[in-house]
């Protein structure tokens, strides 16, 4: 990414929650990478905000210690960090105290930057008070942008309340609702695949595609975040945002241009076309699970209810699989399978586009005898097209010769066309948070979620949450699955009812 229209731009980036987990694990490493790549405008200032009593020097030292522990390829040298540290400043604030916002206003007025970004890397319950206080302090100026991290609310009602409070202070063009999956290079390539190549458009519809699978699998457990996760669960944490955004990217119609609202208008149409849930489909087409103890990568790992911060009788789901349908002409009759979970057999995210079988079989195909396009999101970033080729038969084999003489259909063997984007473009690519933070500074909204998108997503998933609440009241919890597997067996039965399998079962 080039500086282009950001050359010479001055900015202040205020990170609320500047000593928190998100700041040092994601935001500051991403900003360091942008600084290293020369894409972060040099006339910038990064101000960490938290309740801790720290000086600028103490905060810089804290960040330096934590960045020294990141992956070796992203770890800064002493010289790199010294240059980056000149951008780092700290301000003690209590987000409920108006006088603290007045002090922040005074600090920002010291240089009157071209752009001021307020990044709310805090608990969602603080979004409303922070935005209201920013407005009351006169900090919501036309050159101010506010970034809201997920989860934006706990349900539809709380999401609407937060967005209403934000709209009372900021216009929609100033609000950047972040979903870091949209910043992944692989997701950008998904959009380029669809809308930058005429090859796929005639095939991208119900007449050619039999089913679509979206998998976001994690081998990790809750990793010390048990108290947070036990109030959230996989549906809120992954399906309502990441998975549905991927579904939109796959299913949306071509936008009229690459402008933010043109893209987001088409995504909204997909969300509004999702077939609503009924009691029958909730019972048949949704599976929730919770990991139990098991073996993972040769190590015995404990079950979810034994994790720190998790209630011993918790009914929070760590796995979700569901079957979605889109009621429009392009996708009518095509099932979309979404699956996500923790402590699964692999760490990977992919989209599998299963194509329909040839209308008349003149060859013998393998058991999974249809073509498939795999879009790899993590840890790989690339495409694999699964095709079939004629399997050459050894002339010396009398059995094969007799088989051919009898007029049997010749056999096919699977072959793959593989494109690895990291090999093609190089491993030093722009990360998700790096891309998104630069887009916020530049004012590009294309990769951020609009309020009506979020509301439509919450509307669709809320009946699932309500059904699970009713099940919990009856003493019915999620289905257990052993850590290191692909989830409850009911997830396989979910797709098998349509005559399909998950890719690892094929």
Distance of CA 335 to the CA centre of its chain: 21
Classified as helix, coil or strand, 411 is strand
Let me know: does 445 contact 260? Beta carbons within 8 Å: yes
CA-nearest of 153, 235, 216 to 464 is 235
φ/ψ of 314, rounded to 5, equals: -60, 140
Per the annotation, the verdict on 242 as an active-site residue is yes
- Residue 399 CA to residue 441 CA, distance in Å, equals 69
Residue 420 annotated as part of some ligand binding site: no
Residue 51 annotated as part of some ligand binding site: yes
Residue 218 annotated as part of some ligand binding site: yes
Residue 154 annotated as part of some ligand binding site: no
Residue 180 annotated as part of some ligand binding site: yes
CA-nearest of 460, 488, 15, 405 to 281 is 460
Residue 237 annotated as part of some ligand binding site: yes
- Residue 11 CA to residue 211 CA, distance in Å, equals 46
Question: Active-site residue among 37, 89, 154, 242?
Answer: 242
Residue 94 annotated as part of some ligand binding site: yes
CA-nearest of 147, 143, 116 to 131 is 147
Provide CB contacts within 8 A for 319, sequence distance 6+. Answer: 234, 287, 288, 289, 290, 291, 339, 340, 341, 342, 344, 478, 481, 487, 488, 491
Residue 342 annotated as part of some ligand binding site: yes
- Residue 468 CA to residue 230 CA, distance in Å, equals 14
Helix orientation angle between 156-167 and 127-136, rounded to the nearest 10 degrees: 10
Element (H, E) at 400: helix 398-405
φ/ψ of 467, rounded to 5, equals: -65, -40
Point out the annotated binding site for NADP(+). Answer: 51, 94-95, 150
Point out the annotated binding site. Answer: 51, 94-95, 150, 180, 184, 218, 237, 342
Q: Which residues are catalytic?
A: 242
Point out the annotated binding site for substrate. Answer: 180, 184, 218, 237, 342
């Amino acid at each position: 990414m080039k500086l282009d229209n950001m050359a010479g731009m001055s900015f202040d980036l205020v990170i609320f929650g500047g000593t928190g987990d998100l700041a040092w694990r994601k935001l500051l490493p991403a900003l360091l990478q942008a600084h290293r790549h020369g894409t972060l405008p040099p006339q910038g200032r990064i101000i960490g905000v938290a309740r801790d009593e720290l000086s600028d020097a103490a905060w810089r030292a804290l960040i330096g210690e934590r960045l020294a522990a990141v992956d070796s390829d992203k770890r800064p040298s002493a010289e790199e960090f010294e240059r980056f540290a000149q951008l780092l400043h700290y301000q003690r604030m209590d987000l409920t105290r108006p006088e603290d916002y007045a002090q922040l206003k005074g600090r920002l007025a010291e240089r009157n930057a071209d752009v001021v970004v307020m990044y709310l890397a805090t608990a969602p319950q603080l979004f409303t008070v922070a935005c209201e206080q920013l407005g009351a302090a006169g900090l919501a100026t036309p050159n101010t942008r506010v970034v809201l991290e997920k989860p934006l609310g706990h349900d539809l009602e709380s999401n609407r309340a937060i967005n209403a409070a934000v709209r009372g202070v900021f216009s929609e063009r100033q609000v950047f609702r972040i979903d870091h999956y949209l910043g992944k290079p692989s997701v950008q390539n998904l959009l380029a695949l669809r809308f930058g190549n005429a090859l796929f458009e005639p095939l991208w519809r119900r007449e050619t595609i039999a089913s679509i699978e979206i998998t976001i699998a994690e081998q990790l457990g809750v990793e010390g975040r048990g108290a947070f996760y036990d109030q959230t669960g996989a549906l809120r944490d992954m399906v309502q945002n990441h998975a549905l955004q991927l579904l939109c990217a796959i299913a949306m119609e071509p936008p009229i241009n690459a402008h933010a609202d043109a893209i987001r208008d088409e995504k909204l149409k997909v969300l509004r076309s999702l077939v609503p849930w009924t009691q029958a489909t909730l019972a048949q087409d949704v599976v929730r699970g919770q990991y139990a103890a098991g073996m993972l990568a040769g190590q015995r790992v404990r079950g979810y209810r034994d994790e720190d911060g998790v209630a011993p009788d918790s009914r929070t789901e760590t796995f979700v699989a569901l079957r979605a349908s889109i009621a429009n002409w392009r996708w009518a009759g095509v099932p979309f399978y979404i699956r996500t979970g923790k402590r699964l057999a692999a760490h990977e995210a992919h989209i599998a586009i299963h194509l329909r079988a040839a209308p008349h079989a003149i060859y013998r195909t393998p058991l999974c005898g249809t073509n498939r396009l795999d879009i790899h999101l993590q840890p790989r970033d690339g495409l694999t097209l699964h095709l079939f080729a004629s399997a050459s038969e050894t002339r010396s084999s009398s059995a094969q010769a007799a088989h051919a003489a009898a007029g049997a259909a010749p056999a096919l063997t699977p072959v793959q066309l593989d494109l690895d984007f990291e090999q093609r473009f190089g491993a030093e690519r722009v990360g998700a948070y790096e891309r998104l933070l630069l887009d916020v500074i530049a004012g590009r909204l294309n990769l951020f979620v609009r309020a009506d998108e979020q509301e439509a997503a919450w509307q669709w998933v809320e009946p699932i949450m309500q059904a699970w609440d009713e099940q919990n009241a009856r003493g019915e919890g999620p289905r257990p699955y052993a850590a290191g597997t692909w989830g409850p067996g009911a997830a396989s039965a979910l797709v098998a009812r349509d005559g399909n399998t998950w890719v690892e079962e094929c």
